[in-house]
Amino acid sequence: MSKAYWLTGLLVLFGLSGLAVLRVQAIEDNPKAEKPKASKDRFFEMRTYIAAPGKLDALNARFRNHTNKLFVKHGMELIGYWTPAEGSASENTLIYILAYPDKDAREKSWKAFQADPEWQRVRTETEANGKLVEKVEQVFLKPTDYSPIK
């Protein structure tokens, strides 16, 4: 099992309960914030990106400045983004979790995102000096009955 995959599992096991508290606080602080949607069909996706050497900052900038807005535009709920706090993976790894109403919504959202002319432009511009991502790992998740995030 790769270090990134193992670390990703730890983030899920230990990080999401704290994340739920942060999300609740953010909603309480901002009454206009969208409340998390709970449903038995809600579908989560955890993605781990291994950045090309020296490209993690550029990858983070692309998410910060472009990708997040496009994800929201295409119906993807942003749960959170992380980088490893220590070790060699901290130099090239971005981990994030998205949520969707169900698996079909996930498929439609990604298809629309990938076809979006704005995404295609941003990707071309940000990869003018080479690809930002060497490898993508994904894990589909379903919440347990005791999970604070559903």
The partner residues of 136 in beta bridges, in order of sequence, read 49
Could you tell me the residue range of the domain that residue 64 belongs to? 3-141
What is the distance between the alpha carbons of residues 53 and 135, in angstroms, rounded to a whole number? 12
pTM (predicted TM-score): 0.74
Strands of the sheet containing 43-51, edge to edge, are 77-82, 93-100, 43-51, 133-141
**Tens digits of residue pLDDT in 46-105:** 999 999 999 999 999 999 999 999 999 999 999 999 999 999 999 999 999 999 999 999
CATH code for position 69: 3.30.70.100
Which pairs with CB-CB distance under 8 Å and at least 24 residues apart come from 123-126?
126/58, 126/61, 126/62, 126/66
**Tens digits of residue pLDDT in 94-145:** 999 999 999 999 999 999 999 999 999 999 999 999 999 999 999 999 999 9
**Residue 82 falls inside a structural domain:** yes
* HEC-encoded secondary structure of 66-83: HHHHHHHHCCCEEEEEEC
**Residue 146 falls inside a structural domain:** no
**Residue 149 falls inside a structural domain:** no
